[in-house]
């Protein structure tokens, strides 16, 4: 069985990974809120672009260029939301980079310890083996890295000329997180936290 020092180091890295996952989840919710608002604006644009939609307005209220000004405001609002969405992706990249650091740091630490293969692969349930702990960190990082690549592709479809239906589909795929096995991530983080609590009893 691996030394308590090695296992404690892995627990520390899992704790940092847990913080990164929580940050990712917060950015995911923020991004979905932005996508929903963008889709709502897109739903209004056809009516705003239709001159007949302004026929019932009093001339004094509408005034010259009223339609153009209103449309311009909505497009400006959409542009600002798209910029914020791109900012979320940039922050997600920071999170993924942090996940990669935790995974790589774990690999370097275990290599420096020069543990024999038999020790690295030995588990003492519920405590996972060192190899399993390393693999878990790698898996969490790679899942989110692949998901981020998908999200970049999805956000490229968020444009002025996208229909509401297209934007709702983008939001649905964004929400699905097809590359992130949420249950596996939660299990990995829980097992390490639970074994730390048990060790302290």
Is the model's pLDDT at 73 over the cut of 50?
yes
Distances from the Cα of 70 to the Cα of 115, 139, 144, angstroms: 67, 48, 40
Q: What is the mean pLDDT of residues 20-40?
A: 98
Q: From the CA atom positions of the chain, what is the Rg in Å? A: 24
Residue 167: CB atoms within 10 A of its CB come to 21
Q: What is the mean pLDDT of residues 101-120?
A: 84
pLDDT digits (tens, 9 = 90+) for 112-170: 878 777 777 766 666 778 888 899 999 999 999 999 999 999 999 999 899 999 999 99
Residue whose C-alpha is closest to residue 140's, from 178, 97, 180: 180
Q: What is the mean pLDDT of residues 162-191?
A: 94
- For 34-43, 51-60, 103-112, which range has the lowest pLDDT when averaged over its residues? 51-60
Q: Which residues fall within 8 angstroms of residue 27, CB to CB, at 6 or more apart?
A: 88, 91, 92, 95
- For 51-65, 122-136, 175-189, which range has the lowest pLDDT when averaged over its residues? 51-65
In the chain, where are the structural domains located?
4-200
- Select, from the ranges 5-19, 37-51, 78-92, the one with the highest average predicted confidence (pLDDT): 78-92
Helix ranges (H only) for 4-65 are 4-49, 59-62
Collapsed DSSP state (helix, strand, coil) of residue 123? coil
**CATH code for the domain defined by 4-200:** 1.20.1050
The reported pLDDT for the residue numbered 65 is 75
- The mean pLDDT value of the chain amounts to 86
- For 47-51, 170-174, 194-198, which range has the lowest pLDDT when averaged over its residues? 194-198
- Select, from the ranges 47-51, 65-69, 76-80, the one with the highest average predicted confidence (pLDDT): 76-80
Is the model's pLDDT at 199 over the cut of 60?
no
């Amino acid at each position: 069985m691996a030394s308590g020092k090695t296992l404690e180091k892995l627990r520390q890295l899992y704790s940092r990974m847990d913080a990164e996952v929580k940050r990712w989840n917060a950015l995911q919710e923020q991004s979905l809120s932005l996508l929903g608002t963008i889709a709502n604006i897109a739903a209004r644009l056809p009516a705003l672009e239709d001159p007949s939609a302004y026929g019932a307005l009093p001339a004094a209220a509408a005034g010259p260029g009223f339609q153009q000004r209103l449309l311009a405001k909505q497009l400006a609002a959409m542009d600002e939301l798209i910029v914020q969405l791109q900012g979320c992706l940039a922050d997600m990249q920071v999170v993924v980079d942090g996940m990669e650091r935790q995974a790589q740091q774990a690999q370097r630490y275990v290599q420096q310890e020069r543990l024999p293969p038999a020790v690295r692969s030995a588990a003492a349930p519920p405590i996972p083996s060192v190899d399993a702990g390393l693999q878990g960190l790698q898996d969490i990082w790679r899942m989110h890295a692949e998901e981020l690549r998908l999200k970049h592709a999805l956000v490229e479809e968020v444009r002025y000329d996208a229909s509401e239906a297209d934007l709702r589909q983008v939001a649905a795929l964004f929400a699905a997180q097809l590359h992130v096995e949420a249950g596996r991530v939660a299990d990995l983080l829980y097992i390490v936290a639970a074994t730390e609590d048990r060790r302290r009893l």
